[in-house]
Structure 1
Amino acid sequence: MSDPISRILTQLSIDTKTLSTILNLGPNGEDKLAFWRENPSKMPKKEAARLQLLRTGIPHRSQAGTFKFIDLFAGIGGMRLPFQELGGQCVFTAEWDRHAQATYAANFGEPPYKTGDITATKACDIAAHDILLAGFPCQAFSQAGRRAGFHDTRGTMFFEIQRILAHHHPAAFLLENVKQLKGHDSGRTLETILSTLRGDTVPNIPDKVPMSVEARQSLGTKLDYETETILLKARDFGVPQNRERIYIVGIRRDLGLPFGSVRALLKRVVENYQQSSRLSDILEADSDYTRSFTISDRLWLGHRLRKERNRLAGKGFGYSIFNHESAYTNTISARYAKDGSEILIEQPDGINPRKLTPEETRALQGFPRNFRIDMVGNGQIYKQFGNSVAVPVIRAIATELMATLRVAHPPLHSKAVSKVKP
């Protein structure tokens, strides 16, 4: 066993599918690994370098837990981290983007299920679980997107969540989306979601709205969750970013909790976990490394000209500059790699402003320092963190949710919960 691939497989206790995902080798990745094991000198330099980086290990490997959860539309695992910290075991993951899959597998030691396409995954193929987590796609509702809602395929991903809830009846769920969901279609979109989760009505979705066959068939199964929503800003939870998101929390009514338990736990999240921070808490000291993220003269000129045009047109769009004295930044988006316009960092001596470093971006979303970001390029890192949740917000909700559930159903574990029918 002299080749480097065999050594890393043994050292990390992972299989070739996981390694192929981490190295982002594509659909024929395991065949490539088999060839390189026989011909180590043929392995490309990029993959060989990443293989060497992996020697430091898998930092957030899954362990057996006291409860089980699934991670849908998982991104890089920002919702998973706090629930795993609280003793949970992730038993199913879905994420379609292969670059996000690489980062996810490098941190948790397991790739998302098959292709990660949740619409092609039957609910019966998903393991029984206590908690369903889903940061379902926001582009159909976001200000930056077309805001087509349920008439956008991405918007109908909620009904893929609904069919899994209808099949497995987990004890609880946590969903996350952009704040614009609250006002989309004059509030009717959110009302449809909430009434579906609460079981108040069976949704009547026109046939022309695209969704999987199983999702459409499950619409007639009434759910029964006490469900509440809350808008929270990441800047209030110890990360210096004004990232406002809507969180939807539900607990199955037949668990016997007092009415209003979900609202009460969300109130505790606001009262007990909020803390302030400043941008200086996450910015690195000025150095050759940070200066390597300085934007070019051409890009800087383009930013200024565009902002002036927007000002003259009565629009407020344009770049934003922050420094060590700033309390927080704008919300980082998936397009940050393009030009960094929403968060530019002031530099000394008249140097053009710079973008955040990948490490600063990680900190801006509250991920731990040992969370791996070295298996993909900087462009993908920015996209992944721009699409991610702010981990401290999830941690606060997760802590109160699990404390509430353990009162209702101690000890919480999937085998017992999955036997309870609504």
Structure 2
Amino acid sequence: MRFFDFCAGIGTGRMGLENIGLQCIGFSEIDIDSEYTYQAFFGQAEKNYGDLMEINPNDLPDFELMIAGFPCQSFSIVGQRKGIEDDRGQIIYGLINIMKAKHLPYFILENVKGLMNHDRGKTFTIILNDLNQAGYQVYHQVLNSIDYGIPQMRERIYLIGIRKDLVTHQLFSWAEPIDSPNLRNYLIDGIEIELNEKNKTYQTFLKYLNNKYNQGLFTIEQLCSEDYLVLDTRQSDLRLYKNKIPTLRTGRHGILYTREGKLRKLSGFESLLLQGIPKYLAERVKGKISDSRLLSQAGNAMTVSVIEAIGCSVLNYTRYYG
């Protein structure tokens, strides 16, 4: 089965589908930094068709499946939640136009969980109705990456579309959860934080540790005495996690953890691993792209193992393994 990778980011959706034998025949991405990483993973010869809102569907090769992590900023609880009034929110209609023009059999769409309750659920209802009117039976489910082999708490809404003339009596079944491996397998590259007044990361962390909400609760020595303890600072809060990591996000660059008695900062390389990208691919961009950019790109990416599981569910439904 051939698929096209829209709103491709760094290509984690593609990785998941290629892991189960599907063939990518093109990608569309407007962010230059993400395109660089994508081509580092898959090769410089990969053609980027650019802005999907400007693509003539007739210029696209034929394919059977669309995958797209369409922009989530319009619907995320960390954004302004403008929804379909935002230009980025209109991307869904660009995708629908391509679906109809290509008479597309199947699609996989991904977005933040907040899409479901944006504008008290009206936005999600409109999108589902428009996909239905475009000719698709749509199945949707919130899945968490930590349930699919990756120790990251990442809830996302996934929409599976099957063209109505291809719908059978068979019920669509979502993949069963699997256990996640030990987090220490992923925290292998963290940047050690020097505990002195010159280190900005350390000084920022001390402000959280000593603010009125956390003062006296922990000391650096206590925290560092436990290996692989994850520390997340947001607003005035300090949250601690064991054997799991909070959701990677574009703007979240302050995840810390402990190892061998040291305080460390999650690296860009580690963030790629925590989205299911294999080490040999992550190593292609390690040291070539800044940590801040890799952290942002990983925060925008899909989790490889989740897409792989969803892809298997689609194949099981269609019984198409070509």
Equivalent position SS for 2:278 = coil
Give 2:128's aligned residue.
194
Count the aligned residue pairs. 297
Contact in 2 for aligned 1:235/1:243 (Cα 8 Å): yes
Aligned-pair CA distance for 1:112 = 4.3
> C-alpha separation between the residues in 1 aligned to 2:62 and 2:209?
52
Alignment of 1:113-262 (within 5 A): 113-114=48-49, 116-199=50-133, 223-258=134-169, 261-262=171-172
2:237 paired residue among 308, 315, 318:
318
- One-letter identity of the residue aligned with 1:335: G
Given that 2:108 and 2:160 are in contact with CA atoms closer than 8 Å, whether structure 1 keeps it comes out as yes
Residue 217 of structure 2 corresponds to: none
Pick from 332, 341, 345 the counterpart of residue 257 of structure 2. Answer: 345
- Measure the CA separation in 2 of the matches of 1:82 and 1:310: 44
Q: Tell me whether 1:365 sits opposite 2:275 in the alignment.
A: yes
Q: Distance in 2 between matches of 1:381 and 1:225?
A: 35
Q: State the superposition RMSD in angstroms.
A: 2.3
CA separation of 1:316 and 1:335: change in aligned 2, threshold 3 A? closer
CA distance in 2, matches of 1:277, 1:95: 31
1:418 equivalent in structure 2: none
Counterpart position of 2:231: none
Q: Partners in 1 of 2:155 and 2:210 — Cα distance?
A: 27
Of Structure 1 and Structure 2, which has the larger fraction of its residues in helix? 1
Cα distance change, pair 256–302 in 1 and its aligned pair in 2 (3 A): closer
CA contact (8 A) 1:174 1:248 kept: yes
Query: Shift of the alpha carbon at 1:113?
Result: 2.2
- TM-score normalised over the length of structure 1: 0.65
Give the structure, 1 or 2, with the largest relative contact order (CA under 8 Å, sep 6 or more). 2
Report the alpha carbon displacement of residue 403 of structure 1 after superposing the two structures with TM: 2.4
| Deviation for aligned residue 1:347 | 4.2
1:164-194 alpha-carbon deviations (Å, 9 max, x no partner): 1111121110000001001001001111111
Q: Residue type of the partner of 2:110?
A: E
Match of 2:308 in 1: 395
| Alpha-carbon offset, residue 95 of structure 1 | 0.7
Does 2:247 align with 1:331?
yes
Q: Look up the equivalent residue of 1:160 and give its one-letter code.
A: G
1:354 is paired with a residue of what secondary structure? Answer: strand
- What is the CA distance between 1:88 and its match in structure 2? 1.9
Question: Percent sequence identity over matched residues?
Answer: 31
Residue of structure 2 equivalent to 1:276: 180
Contact 1:235/1:277 (<8 A) preserved? no
- Determine the C-alpha separation between the residues in 1 that align with 2:130 and 2:27: 23
- Structure 2 unaligned spans of 5+: 215-233
Which residue, out of 207, 219, 228, partners 1:305? 207
Give the partner amino acid of 2:135: D
Cα shift at 1:364: 1.1
The aligned amino acid for 2:136 is Y
**Structure 1 residue 307 displacement after superposition:** 6.5
Task: Say yes or no: does 1:79 pair with 2:13.
Answer: yes
Q: Give, in whole Å, the separation in 1 of the partners of 2:238 and 2:10.
A: 27
1:316 CA drift (Å): 7.0
What CA distance in whole angstroms lies between the structure 2 residues aligned with 1:228 and 1:370?
A: 34
Q: Which protein is richer in strand relative to its size? A: 2
CA distance in 1, matches of 2:61, 2:270: 36
Question: How far did residue 73 of structure 1 move?
Answer: 0.5
TM-score of the two chains, using structure 2 as the length reference:
0.84
Q: Distance in 2 between matches of 1:101 and 1:196?
A: 30
The one-letter code matched in structure 2 to 1:357 is S
Are the equivalent residues in 1 in contact too, given 2:16–2:306 (CA < 8 A)?
no
| 3-state SS in 1 of match to 2:34 | helix
